[in-house]
Structure 1
Amino acid sequence: MRALFFASLLFSYSRILLAESNCVVPNAHYEDIACAIEAFNSVEGQLNHTYKALFESMGSEDRAKLKEAQLAWVQFRDADTAFAYASSGEEGSLGALISTNHKLDITLERIKQLKGFAMDRTN
């Protein structure tokens, strides 16, 4: 719970942190918490866009199943991120950086999954 509270504080202050950072978006893990938060926010937007496009392409029964699956996935992602923070053995900004990168990775994988479902629907 403490990890989730700390992560939410970091996300709340991300605008302040981003103003002080000069992020070049690499394809690997980030070494700066502000850049990691910026990347995660971007990926979260991509996830929402991908989910919405898939959701709108479905009938009502499939939409209900997708919504249920997505809610469960969000709970998993958040719990897994909290576990990554706790098991990193790091506290403070380094632990937050590790967990933010972890959350970013999981979210990127989910986008791939949702895009795969969308591709399956068009074939």
Structure 2
Amino acid sequence: MRQILLVLASMLTLSSLNSPTVTIAGTTPDLQEMRLVQRVNCNNPQTQIAINECAKLSYQRADKKLNQAYQQLLPTLETSRKQKLIAAQLAWLKFRDTNCEFERSRYEGGSIASSIYSSCLENTTKLHTQELQEFLKSDP
């Protein structure tokens, strides 16, 4: 048993030489963090794990664009409209997240639930980004 553990430890050590890792002082990685992650081909994901990861990455890109549009719009508004935009954005975020949780609940417990949730977040976020971009075009 000890030899097996030594072999596994050696394999993990050797495999970690090829990929950068970040260690935070005072924490111990859980099994999820210890899994080796390879770059996923999002043009042709082959597993549900890859599909889930690609959906998550796609949502993150959409969220970044939303934040850029929001940050561009905010300084163009007078104070009272800024406050209304901030309140609307907070309400929208709550709606988006709750709505996507509802959509995901149809697949609760299934491996596809994660990608359903991320895809919902992405689609809803893209629509809202377009709305904010329209405000940027139309507001003086």
Which TM-score tier does this pair reach, normalised by the shorter chain? Answer: 0.7 to 0.9
Please say if residues 36 and 97 of structure 1, whose CA atoms lie closer than 8 Å, have aligned partners that are also in contact: yes
Percent sequence identity is 26
**Residue number in structure 1 paired with 2:102:** 83
What letter matches 2:131 in structure 1? Q
Coordinate RMSD, CA, aligned: 2.2
Q: Secondary structure at the match of 1:32?
A: helix
Q: Secondary structure at the match of 1:93?
A: coil
The structure with the largest helix share of the pair is 1
What's the TM-score, normalizing by structure 2?
A: 0.66
CA apart distance, 1:116: 1.1
Q: What secondary structure, in the 3-state scheme, does the structure 1 residue paired with 2:111 have?
A: helix
Q: Which of the pair has more CA radius of gyration?
A: 2
Q: Give the CA deviation at 1:90.
A: 4.3
Deviation per residue, 1:73-123 (Å, 9 max, x gap) = 00000100110011x23424301111111111000000011111111104x
1:59 to 78, 103, 106: 78
Aligned residues: 102
- Equivalent residue in structure 1 for 2:121, among 103, 106, 122: 103
- Name segments (4+ residues, structure 1) moved above 6 Å: none
Which ranges of structure 2 fall in alignment gaps of 5 or more residues?
1-31, 45-49
Deviation at 1:50, TM superposition (A): 0.3
- Is 2:90 the counterpart of 1:68? no
Alignment match, 1:46: 65
Change (3 A) 1:84 1:47: same
